[in-house]
Amino acid sequence: MKSTNVMKLVKIALIGALYTALTLAIAPLAYGTVQFRISEALTLLPLFSPIGIWGVTFGCFLSNLLGFLLGTNPIGLIDAVCGTLATLIAALITYRIGQIPFSSLPESKARLTRALLAPIPVVLSNGLIVGLELALVFGGNPGESLPYIWAFQGISVAAGEIVVCYTLGMLLTFALYRADLYKRLFAETRTA
């Protein structure tokens, strides 16, 4: 039992570290009003296991905190809270999508359906929450123009998420599905 828990923590830490490394590798593009994080491809991992939920959430928190400490994240500590919350919400919903049986479909079509649905919570959660965060931080006076600034920032963040999740995220998802690799990676923690 203890070795299983240690293995879960190691996998969470590895996902978090990979997310952080990928984010910091392209730091100028990963933070600010226009965001393009290649690490967001990993936000589809909750589709396969709860370990993915905690791995990407930890990675997002660590990335935002380190970005602030290194001076590359202009939003700072607010992003460590709001950005992480957006990632956690998206990860929880993505996990639930992975649990949908789609019993009327053959397994290959069920996998495709799950894969195509999985990025939607990531795009919406980050677009809404991070978009609002950016609008409040960079929007100046939050008067009548806030909804327009929020819409612009939300669309900007969502567009970056769409590009990454529906390209790199899909490649990762299909690679894990292809040889049932996800079963080996998340064997100790996968639930039925």
The three-state secondary structure class of 62 is helix
Task: Kindly tell me the burial class for residue 3, based on how many C-beta atoms sit within 10 Å of its own C-beta (0-12, 13-18, 19 or more).
Answer: exposed
Q: Are 114 and 145 in contact (CB under 8 A)?
A: no
What is the per-residue pLDDT across 15-30, written as a single tens digit (0 to 9) for each?
A: 999 999 999 999 989 9
What is the per-residue pLDDT across 51-77, written as a single tens digit (0 to 9) for each?
A: 999 999 999 999 999 999 999 998 889
What is the per-residue pLDDT across 139-151, written as a single tens digit (0 to 9) for each?
A: 766 666 778 888 9
Q: Please tell me the number of Cα atoms within 13 Å of 147 on its side-chain side.
A: 1
pLDDT value for 143: 65
What is the per-residue pLDDT across 86-134, written as a single tens digit (0 to 9) for each?
A: 999 999 999 999 999 999 999 999 999 999 999 999 999 999 999 999 9
Residue 145 φ then ψ, to 5°: -80, -10
Q: Domains along the chain? A: 2-185 (1.10.1760.20)
pTM score, two decimals? 0.91
pLDDT band at 189 (very low <50, low <70, confident <90, very high): very low
pLDDT value for 4: 83
Measuring CA to CA, how many Å separate 33 from each of 41, 137, 166?
Answer: 19, 10, 21
Q: What is the mean pLDDT of residues 164-176?
A: 96
Q: Are 73 and 61 in contact (CB under 8 A)?
A: no
| Residue owning tokens 């290649």 | 38
Report the Cα 191 to chain-centroid distance in Å.
Answer: 21
